[in-house]
Structure 1
Amino acid sequence: MVIGVTMVNVLPGKEKTVYNEIKEMKNVRDIYHVFGEFDFVVIIEAESLSILNNTVDNIRAIEGVTKTQTVVGAEI
């Protein structure tokens, strides 16, 4: 199991649409709207690093997403 934490920036006015799309994605465990440098923090839980990467790619492909940054960890 691989856990990823992806921070997401979106265009102003696109927050609700992006939130709803991310929330419905497979492998997304939680999503939080935050204040500061990023708009959302997304917790991704996947069976492999490649599946996690695909999920992040799908987030980047959402209209209105301008930037992502991901940190990855594995269960011990």
Structure 2
Amino acid sequence: MVIGVTMVNVSPGREKAVYKAIKEMKNVREVYHVFGEFDFVVIIEAGSLSELNKTVDSIRDIEGVTKTQTVVGAEI
């Protein structure tokens, strides 16, 4: 199991649409709207690093997403 925490920036006015799109994605466990440098923090659980990367790529493809930053951890 691989855990990823992805911080997401979105274009102004696109927050609700991006939130809904991320929330419906496979492997996404939690989505938090935050204040500061990023707009959302997304918790992703995937079976492999490759699967996690595909999820992050899908987030990047959402209209209105302008930037992502991901940190990855693995259960031991």
TM (norm. structure 2) is 1.00
The correspondence of residues 32-71 of structure 1 with structure 2, limited to 5 A, is 32-71=32-71
Q: Deviations over 1:32-53 (max 9, x none)?
A: 0000000000000000000000
- The letter of the residue matching 1:70 is T
Report the Cα distance in structure 2 between the residues aligned to 1:29 and 1:49, rounded to whole angstroms. Answer: 16
Percent identity over the alignment? 84
Instruction: Give aligned pairs, total.
Output: 76
TM-score (norm 1): 1.00
Q: Distance in 2 between matches of 1:24 and 1:62?
A: 12
Q: Please, which runs of 5 or more residues in structure 1 have no aligned partner? A: none
CA displacement, residues 18-67 of structure 1 (integer Å, 9 cap, x when unaligned):
00000000000000000000000000000000000000000000000000
User: In the alignment, which residue of structure 2 is the partner of 1:24?
Assistant: 24
Cα RMSD for the two superposed structures: 0.2
- Cα distance in 2 between the residues matched to 1:29 and 1:64: 21
